[in-house]
Amino acid sequence: MAQINIGQGQGITQAIASHLGMSKDDCKKVGLAQWQQVMSLVDQNNTQNKTNKEQSIFSGGNNVKNLGNSANWKTDFVVQQGTVEIQQSLWDKIVAILKPSAAAPSAPTQSETPAQSDAPVEVPETPKAGQTAELDAFKGMEAKAREMTFEEALNDSTPENGVSMVNDEWREMANRGDAATGEKYQELVKKFGLNYTRQLDEKYGNGDGTLTYEEFEKHQSEDITPDADADVRAAMKEAIKNAFERLDLNDDNKLDSKEITTLLAAMDYDKDNNVNGRITINDFFRTSIQLGEGDRQFLDDLLEYNYNSFFGKDEE
């Protein structure tokens, strides 16, 4: 846990900056979009605290889009003088946003060392037509899941049953706490996402490198069995529509490699908000269920955070 001291008259962003030893000049270099990402993480922690009936970090409104509006400063993200705690995994992400040179991603646990990790998927620099390693990896994972009951699949985190987006070099970097681990992780996941998107497009689309709703629906509809009744089909169609709208982060009515990469990165978070470069069956099914739900949820914040973190753009 990171313990943040809230001084008299301070807001949460001021307290975070003070805790990091940031000067006024340092703070001026941080853009509004970065502070919005930070407060999305704080809000995530606050929501978890409420769910677990633990002490709240702040009270009042939590709309990060209003963060730059001084009219909301007395009503949103209200904190009291004293000490608040932020989960270490979330705090590491906050440090990475505000002081990237000081951040070092959490190393995988002992059970995730390179000697015990699943074989990496080799990601070519330039994807070529006909190469389907990433798509085949997901197909293989789904085939293994079909051999399980739904409950077994929903709880399966076996490394060998999942999909690896990184290689042994990255795992070794993470284990030794290399400062470049985070940058290397994004490089590998971006390549994996680019390849995977192109492979999906080659199979279900028209070869333009993106997926329209109709192409995405064609891919997702493979899971609808021929004997499914009308109600089941309608429910799955609605889930597919919700998933597409949730992933279309730039609202251009198609999914590109950036948006697919963002989804893959979101699947990689475990229950402690750490990443290890591997998507398990549990990760895949849990995220797929959340994608199809209609109401806004934490996954939406995570997708927006990853999109901005990976590609440095705020599409709002």
pLDDT tens-digit series, residues 59-74? 888 887 777 777 777 8
Q: What band does 274 get if pLDDT is binned at 50, 70 and 90?
A: confident
Q: What is residue 248's predicted lDDT score, i.e. its pLDDT?
A: 97
Residues 299/269, Cβ–Cβ less than 8 Å = no
pTM, two decimal places: 0.60
Dihedral sign for Cα atoms in the order 226, 227, 232, 234: positive
Rounded Cα distance between 274 and 308, Å, is 18
- Which burial class, exposed, middle or buried, applies to 72 when counting CB atoms under 10 A from its CB (0-12, 13-18, 19+)? middle
Distances (CA, A) of 68 to 74, 95, 250: 12, 20, 22
151-193 pLDDT tens trace: 898 889 998 999 999 998 998 988 888 888 889 999 999 999 9
CA torsion angle for 178, 107, 275, 41 (degrees, to 10)?
Answer: -80
Q: What is residue 128's predicted lDDT score, i.e. its pLDDT?
A: 54
| Residue 106 or residue 189, greater confidence | 189
| Residue 8 or residue 263, greater confidence | 263
| Beta strand residue intervals within 168-273, DSSP E | 211-212, 254-255
Q: What is residue 100's predicted lDDT score, i.e. its pLDDT?
A: 62
Q: What percent of the chain has pLDDT over 70?
A: 88
Whether pLDDT at 225 is above 60: yes
DSSP string, 123-188: --SS--TT--HHHHHHHHHHHHHHTS-HHHHHT---GGGSEE-S-HHHHHHHHTT-TTHHHHHHHH
Quote the distance between the C-alpha of residue 82 and its chain's center: 31
CB contact set of 292 (below 8 Å; sequence gap of 6+): 236, 238, 239, 240, 242, 243
Look up residue 56 and give its two tokens: 């709240």
Q: What band does 48 get if pLDDT is binned at 50, 70 and 90?
A: confident
Rounded Cα distance between 92 and 106, Å, is 8
Whether pLDDT at 27 is above 50: yes
Look up residue 276 and give its two tokens: 């290890």
**Residue type at position 190:** K
Phi, psi angle pair for 33, to nearest 5°: -60, -35
**Residue type at position 303:** L
Q: What mean pLDDT comes out for the span 277-293?
A: 91
Quote the distance between the C-alpha of residue 102 and its chain's center: 21
Residues 269/15, Cβ–Cβ less than 8 Å = no
Burial code (b: 16+ CB inside 10 Å, e: under 16) for 185-222 equals bbebbbbbbbbbbbbbbbebbeeebbbbeebbbbebee
Rounded Cα distance between 122 and 106, Å, is 23
Catalogue the long-range contacts made by 25-33 (C-beta closer than 8 Å, 24 or more residues apart).
30/98, 32/67, 32/68, 33/308, 33/314
Distances (CA, A) of 265 to 58, 174, 245, 261, 269: 28, 16, 18, 6, 7
